Structure 1
Amino acid sequence: MRNLLFLIIVLVLAFIGIFIGSVMNTNYKAIESNNSSDLYKGTPLTIAIIGDTPNVKEEQVTFHEIKLSEVINIPKNKYNAVFIMEEYLGEAAHKKYRDAYQSLEVPVFFVRSKASHMPFINMENQISYEKYEDRVNDTQDFITGLWYPKSKEEFKTFRFGYRVENDEFQRDNVQGVYSSVFKKIESTLQ
């Protein structure tokens, strides 16, 4: 009975967190296109990446590979954003990293997170990435993001979805999704 009550409380808190995140924060859906005019053409960006560097067409975007442990001590103004690739998401949800995301002041993007951004937010009674992954099973969004602007009390979330064509998600070409993420990163610099 006690375990059931605990599970119910955790679920209610998770849904409240999702609801508050949806209402209070900016969500952004990307629409993918192969049109070269949709590519990011803004200012040069430097992005820290944990995992393999994605194939992108934008030459003004530079990726610097770092280890997940380096997220804790990233110097201010070194990177415009951080990307964490799918194979590191479980570890990236640990508390020490959730604390680091809150102090970065740049957006952190989670590529192919089936748990959305939920396991990467500091909340009481936080559950593991794997448990969120089982509950949320987000297959619509290719990239989700989290950003704590200078105020550590508030955060913004981002969602960049796969293109839908003929009522099916197009998962084979994600260039447009990355271009939309780069545009969002540039908007956070202002």
Structure 2
Amino acid sequence: MKLHMILSIISILFILNLSACSKEEIKYDGEPLKIAVIGDLPELNNEKIHFESISLKELSEDTVQISTNYDAIMITPLMFEEASNDRFVEVYTSTKIPFIFFDSEKRNLPFTNGGLTYESARWESLKNGSHTTIYLSDINANREDAWYFYLNDKKELDVLYKEIFEKVEML
């Protein structure tokens, strides 16, 4: 009976340890960031990064409030096709915080240009090898900028996230 109880306790502790380690540790130590996410929430472990799920509808209905409450907006592959609809182009090109198009092989182009969707945008013409793009538009200065982040055999995903968060902090 005691052996059974000890094994049960060890099993529970093992499972708790696994679940605690399931989130990827990100070594970002800059200013705290609050990031709105459209799509899948990243499973990251860093007390300075706070993700909050929002919808495309929320984004398009209240860009001023979202720009005030968040440091950036991340869009993940789950939502690329819907997020690339022409009705959102103006949102991306007029909102004053950075958009992170995470794991977008087609960069920001299907989202910030009318007449394209993520599915219809020709991959070959958009290929630059980047993994993620941060896009920021400043309509008052008549300018738009994009920063590209690369993931390869030598760079781990946690390093990529750290670079993205450091750029968002700078912006």
Fold match (TM-score > 0.5): yes
Does 2:159 align with 1:176? Answer: yes
Match of 2:121 in 1: 132
AA aligned opposite 2:142: E
The alpha carbon displacement at 1:97 in A equals 1.2
Q: Aligned partners of 1:147 and 1:78: how far apart in 2?
A: 17
Match of 2:143 in 1: 154
Where do residues 10-159 of structure 1 align in structure 2 (5 Å cutoff)?
39-72=27-60, 73-74=62-63, 75=65, 76-122=67-113, 126-136=115-125, 138=127, 140-149=129-138, 151=140, 153-159=142-148
**TM-score under structure 2 length normalisation:** 0.74
**TM-score under structure 1 length normalisation:** 0.67
Gaps of 5+ in 1: 1-35
CA RMSD of aligned residues (A): 2.2
User: For the structure 1 residues 133 and 109, does the alpha-carbon distance in structure 2 shift closer, same or farther, using more than 3 Å as the test?
Assistant: farther
| Equivalent position SS for 2:79 | helix
Moved over 6 A (4+): none
Larger Rg: 2
Identical-residue share of aligned pairs (%): 25
Gaps of 5+ in 2: 1-24
AA aligned opposite 2:162: S
